[in-house]
Amino acid sequence: MKYADRTTLSAEVLAGAKDVGDKLSRLRKARRILQSEAAVRAGLSRSTAVLLESGDPGRTLSQVLRYLNALSPGATMLDLLNQTDPALKALQQKEATKRVRTLSEAELREVDF
């Protein structure tokens, strides 16, 4: 008999599943891999990849691990949770806001139309 996992699990467990999904999605984007390509590498359908990245608690641990291995071969769940992948650090640096200095008077006159 099927049942809805969302109704039987606590809010904390659902938040944990969502967090794992968000981290999988972020890792995939950091490594610039298409979702469909990652799914093929893991031997999953694209719809399953969507469910994994959305944090669906009904996905199996095997599916999560296969998807993680497709994104980052040799990575463990601990690596995913701690976000130790170098691609994630590069993405974080890219996303960090850059301070912009104000223009000098001469530069302002130069760009004034």
The pLDDT tens digits of the residues spanning 81-94 come to 999 999 998 888 88
Cα distance between residue 75 and residue 57, in whole Å: 21
DSSP string, 51-92: HHHHT-TTS-HHHHHHHHHHHSTT--HHHHHHT--HHHHHHH
20 or 108: whose pLDDT is higher?
A: 20
Class of the CATH-defined domain 5-111: mainly alpha
Q: What is the pLDDT of residues 8-48, one digit of tens each?
A: 888 998 999 999 999 999 999 999 999 999 999 999 999 99
Domain segments of the chain: what residues? Answer: 5-111
Rg of the chain on CA atoms, in Å: 20
For 75, residues 6+ apart whose C-beta sits below 8 A from its C-beta are: 68, 69, 85
